């Protein structure tokens, strides 16, 4: 049976896209990443230790991995739509309740739930929007959708600044959670219900080779290793960059400003790196992105100046979304017959890094009294990731 649908106009497209952006702002920008600018505040005022802070970040990423595994086991888009709406509610609830308790185990549970809810914007909203584009025969990508990552990060930083003088840390969490309702509503209303119950939505790639039988396993191994390195660079930067920079006298009390810079820089990053990769190729562009992120992580280690640290925040924001987008694009083109499966496989190492990185950083910073050792080690690992990418470039198909 064929479902007849009228061709959507520009308003319909804008509405769906806006709903997706709001989903990312809520589930990732607020529920997941408000923790970054709030971390130094909680360490100072709530009794949270650096080790506990690292564990909470790890638990959050573990929740994201659990959510990802849950989604990968589901095949009906209508069920995913219902789960998407549930995750929107969980994002608001888990963020708000962070300010209601001072119990570290409750914090852990709430960060785990918020990690699960972040799948709502990153994976579920993406799949539902792609389904809508496909059914309506629209040749649209998700570049605009993923701008919600940067917007959400910037908003979380603005909220911390605006509430820092009038609210304590409890009130800041509660205000952030309740503010998220503004983004829950358009996402709830504008993300379209799936018109079909197709079990798989694939992004068509304009590449017909290589065939699955001739795919070089060495290529995949090196890419997984490189992406694992990128996962560590992402999690250390996104979790601890505010705490690290706030430790310097010149930036003390300005963590929210740092995080806003990261978010604003991330908004156009997917478009910028996509344009570069079209000119010089995905792998070469990834090498450039890894190098820029390496520099962003290394800068606060070698200099305490305001200009250098602001540049560090900007460069980090420019790179982390682009690295994810370019990596998944490269994998999808390399595995055109089963891109979703290949993308899920490569995300494994990236996710493991996100789980282990914060805990290791928490213990290192606690024993050394600084985040410098962790950031220095992370920059070295990003350099190792570049080596793996160069190995990929040398592979002859």
Residue 199's pLDDT is: 41
Contact 242, 316 (CB under 8 A): no
Inform me whether the pLDDT recorded for 261 exceeds 60: yes
The structure tokens listed for 21 are 């952006």
Of 353 and 166, the one with more pLDDT: 166
Residues in CB range of 333: below 8 A, 6 or more apart: 205, 207, 282
Inform me whether the pLDDT recorded for 339 exceeds 80: no
Residue 61 binned pLDDT confidence (cut-offs 50, 70, 90): confident
Contact 39, 162 (CB under 8 A): no
Cα 224 from Cα 222, distance rounded (Å): 5
Residues in CB range of 199: below 8 A, 6 or more apart: 75, 76, 77
Structure confidence by residue, pLDDT tens digits, 263-275: 888 888 878 887 8
Contact 53, 111 (CB under 8 A): no
Count of helix runs (H) and strand runs (E) in the chain: 16, 0
Comparing 111-115, 116-120, 222-226, 352-356, the range with the smallest average pLDDT is: 352-356
In this prediction, residues 166-174 reach a mean pLDDT of 95
Question: In Å, how far from its chain's centre is CA 350?
Answer: 11
In this prediction, residues 39-55 reach a mean pLDDT of 89
Assign 259 to helix, strand or coil: helix
Residue 94's pLDDT is: 97
DSSP states of 197-217: --S------S---S-GGG--H
pTM of structure? 0.77
Structure confidence by residue, pLDDT tens digits, 211-254: 444 556 888 889 999 999 998 888 887 777 777 777 766 666 66
Residue 142's pLDDT is: 66
DSSP code at position 5: -
Q: What is the percent of the chain where pLDDT is above 90?
A: 34
Structure confidence by residue, pLDDT tens digits, 223-235: 999 999 998 888 8
Residue 140 binned pLDDT confidence (cut-offs 50, 70, 90): low
Comparing 260-264, 320-324, 339-343, the range with the smallest average pLDDT is: 339-343
- Buried b / exposed e over 377-388, threshold 16 CB at 10 Å, is bbbebbeebbeb
Residue 92's pLDDT is: 97
Cα 104 from Cα 249, distance rounded (Å): 29
In this prediction, residues 185-197 reach a mean pLDDT of 83
Residue 215's pLDDT is: 52
Inform me whether the pLDDT recorded for 393 exceeds 90: no
One-letter-per-residue 3-state SS of 29-97: HHCCCCHHHHHHHHHHHCCCCHHHHHHHHHHHHHHHHHHHHHHHCCCCHHHHHHHHHHHHHHHHHHHHH
């Amino acid at each position: 049976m064929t479902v007849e649908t009228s061709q959507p106009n520009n308003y319909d497209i804008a509405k769906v896209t806006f709903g997706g952006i709001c989903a990312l702002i809520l589930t990732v920008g607020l529920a997941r990443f408000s923790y970054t600018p709030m971390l130094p505040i909680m360490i100072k005022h709530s009794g949270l230790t650096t080790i506990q802070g690292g564990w909470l970040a790890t638990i959050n990423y573990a929740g994201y991995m659990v959510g990802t595994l849950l989604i990968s086991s589901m095949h009906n888009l209508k069920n995913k739509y219902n789960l998407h709406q549930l995750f929107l509610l969980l994002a608001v609830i888990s963020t708000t309740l962070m300010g209601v308790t001072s119990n570290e185990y409750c914090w852990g549970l709430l960060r785990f739930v918020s990690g699960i809810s972040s799948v709502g914007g990153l994976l579920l909203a993406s799949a539902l929007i792609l389904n809508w584009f496909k059914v309506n025969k629209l040749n649209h990508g998700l570049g605009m959708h993923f701008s919600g990552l940067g917007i959400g990060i910037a908003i979380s930083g603005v909220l911390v600044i605006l509430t820092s003088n009038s609210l304590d840390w409890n009130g800041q969490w509660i205000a952030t959670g309740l503010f998220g309702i503004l983004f829950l509503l358009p996402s709830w209303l504008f993300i379209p219900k799936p018109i079909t119950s197709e079990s798989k939505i694939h992004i068509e790639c304009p590449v017909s080779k290589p065939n699955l039988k001739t795919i070089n396993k060495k290529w995949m191994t090196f890419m997984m290793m490189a992406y694992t390195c990128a996962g560590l660079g992402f999690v250390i930067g996104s979790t601890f960059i505010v705490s690290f920079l706030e430790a310097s006298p010149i930036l003390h009390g300005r963590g929210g400003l740092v995080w806003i810079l990261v978010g604003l820089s991330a908004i156009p990053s997917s478009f910028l790196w996509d344009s570069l990769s079209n000119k010089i190729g995905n792998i070469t562009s990834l090498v450039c992105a890894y190098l820029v992120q390496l520099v962003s992580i290394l800068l606060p280690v070698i200099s305490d100046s305001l200009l250098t640290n602001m540049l560090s925040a900007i460069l980090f924001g420019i790179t982390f979304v682009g690295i994810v987008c370019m990596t998944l694009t490269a994998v999808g083109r390399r595995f055109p017959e089963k891109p979703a499966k290949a993308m899920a496989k490569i995300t494994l190492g990236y996710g493991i890094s996100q789980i282990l990185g914060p805990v290791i950083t928490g213990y290192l910073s606690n024993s050394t009294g600084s985040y410098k050792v962790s950031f220095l080690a992370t920059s070295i690992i990003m350099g190792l990731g570049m080596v793996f990418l160069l190995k990929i470039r040398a592979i002859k198909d």
